[in-house]
Structures are given as C-alpha cells and as structure tokens.
C-alpha cells in the first residue's frame, strides 16, 4: 500500500511539474502533441531493435518515456517558429530532443563498477542457519513477478538466482560476482554468446571462476571492460558430488516476465 501511495505521489508531482512548465512556456497545442508522439516513437523504435541493450532497465516504461517527452518538448519549444509555419522542423526537433535526452539519461546513470549476486541454492540469499531457505526463495520470486520485476521459471525450478541479471559498465569499469552457496561449490562464468566485454577482437571467450569457501562467499572478478554493452552469458554451477548445471543469463533487459 505504501509503495502504491509513493508512486501516486510521484506521478502527481510529475503532473504538477509538467503543468507548471505549460503555464510558464505556454506552448502551442500542436507542440505538446508532437512531443508526446515523438517520445513514444523514439522509445518504441529503440526498444524494438538492437538499441534496447543501451536503454535503462526499468520495471515500467514511464520514466524513460517521460525523459523522451521532456526532451522533445523542450527542444521543439526552444526551436519553434512563432508563425507556426515550420511544422516539419518541429517534428525533427522533437525527435532529436527525445533521443538526446534519453541518451544523456542512460550515460549519466551507468555505474563504473558493478556487483552481481549469484545464489546457487535458491532464488534469494535467505538461509535458515546453514541450510538455504528454498521455500522462501520461491515466494520471493513470486513476489518479484507480482511487482513486474523479473521471473524466470528455469531459475526458480533450478533453485538459482542472479541479480541484477544484466550489466553495463564503462570501459574503465569492472564486474564482480558474489557467489553464495554451499562450501566448495564452483561457479564458472563464460561469455560465449557474441557478448564479451572483456576480450580482444577475435580472442577466446572470457571465462571467470569462483569457489565458495567454508566461511563467506565466492568472488569472481572480471575487468577491465574493453567494450561496454549488454547481452547473454552463462553461469555453470558445479556442486560437490553433483553434475554441473548451466544457466543462461539473458541479459540486455529484464528477464522473461511471468
């Protein structure tokens, strides 16, 4: 309930800010409609093609569309023709502003270093003493699906969790996987799906390993990033006395929704 009220309050503040913008600038009605259409067009096109890897990961799309709309409105209003005879120019300005603002929002929101939690015994990191709480992990996965976060049946059925499931860092960045599981569990992280930010062109796929100690978590460190991006990679879990099991982390956006 509190989450819903917070979101309603945030949207109300956003509406108030937009109303204030309209009252101060007094844009023509066609500029508002052009900006709104441009925001949906730019965001929709980017999410349908390969550029979706570069977009910010969000539980919902409102934030990114709002950024596009504000960029389109401000740029089109700043370059408007007082006589209203340059409608095509307004479209060009709105589309350019939507893309420019979204690009700036993405680039200013990318962290330099990334930490990723890998749970080899459950979707979540909850344990009952020395025993993983698998039932609670399943309930948390269901809760995440209800909140439209992520839900992948292979992970839940395999008692496996990774969060966040994708990453993007700048070229000077690094990635660290923190592996929680039973002692002596070995995890192998392999980038062999045409996505390898740590390798030279034409080089062998990057591979990193971690072993869970008897007291603490296993750590796998990858870096430096040679070419930033997003895409799928695999995590192979080798538990003591058991056959290895490989999970494919989809990357490039939220996991498949339930």
In terms of Cα–Cα distance, which of 127, 129, 148 is closest to 137?
127
> What is the rounded average pLDDT of the residues 16-22?
71
Give tens-digit pLDDT for 205-215. Answer: 999 999 999 88
Confidence of residue 2 (pLDDT cuts 50, 70, 90): low
Q: Give 254's pLDDT tier (boundaries 50, 70, 90).
A: very low
Mean pLDDT over all residues of the chain?
80
Residues whose CB falls within 8 Å of the CB of residue 193, separated by 6 or more in sequence, listed in order: 231, 232, 233, 234, 248
Q: In the prediction, which pLDDT does 256 show?
A: 38
Contact in structure between 187 and 125 (CB atoms under 8 Å)? no
Chain segment 181-205, per-residue pLDDT in tens = 999 999 999 998 888 888 888 889 9
Q: Say whether pLDDT at 221 is over 90.
A: yes
Torsion of CA 11, 17, 20, 25, to 10 degrees: -120
pLDDT at 107: 66
State pLDDT tens for residues 84-126.
Answer: 567 788 899 999 999 888 888 776 655 568 889 999 999 889 9
DSSP state at residue 246: E
The pLDDT tens digits of the residues spanning 141-158 come to 888 888 777 778 888 888
pTM: 0.61
72 vs 33: CA distance, rounded Å: 10
């Amino acid at each position: 309930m509190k989450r819903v009220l917070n979101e309603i309050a945030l949207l109300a503040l956003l509406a108030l800010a937009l109303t204030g913008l309209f009252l101060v600038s007094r844009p023509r009605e066609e500029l508002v409609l052009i900006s709104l259409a441009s925001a949906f067009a730019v965001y929709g096109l980017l999410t349908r093609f390969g550029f979706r890897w570069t977009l910010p990961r969000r539980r919902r799309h409102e934030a990114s569309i709002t950024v596009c709309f504000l960029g389109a409105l401000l740029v089109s209003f700043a370059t408007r023709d007082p006589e209203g005879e340059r409608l095509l120019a307004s479209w060009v300005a709105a589309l350019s502003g939507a893309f420019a603002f979204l690009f700036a929002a993405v680039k200013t929101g990318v962290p330099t270093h990334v930490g990723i939690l890998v749970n080899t015994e459950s979707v979540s990191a909850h344990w009952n003493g020395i025993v993983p709480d698998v039932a609670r992990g399943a309930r948390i996965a269901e809760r995440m699906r209800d909140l439209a976060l992520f839900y992948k049946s292979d992970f839940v059925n395999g008692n496996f969790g990774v969060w966040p499931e994708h990453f993007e860092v700048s070229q000077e960045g690094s990635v660290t996987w923190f592996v929680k599981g039973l002692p002596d569990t070995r995890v192998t992280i392999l980038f062999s799906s045409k996505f390898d930010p740590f390798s030279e062109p034409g080089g062998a796929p990057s591979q990193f390993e971690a072993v869970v100690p008897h007291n603490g978590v296993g750590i796998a460190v990858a870096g430096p990033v040679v070419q930033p991006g997003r895409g799928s990679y695999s995590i192979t879990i080798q538990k003591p006395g058991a056959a290895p099991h490989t999970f494919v982390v989809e990357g490039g956006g939220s996991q498949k929704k339930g």
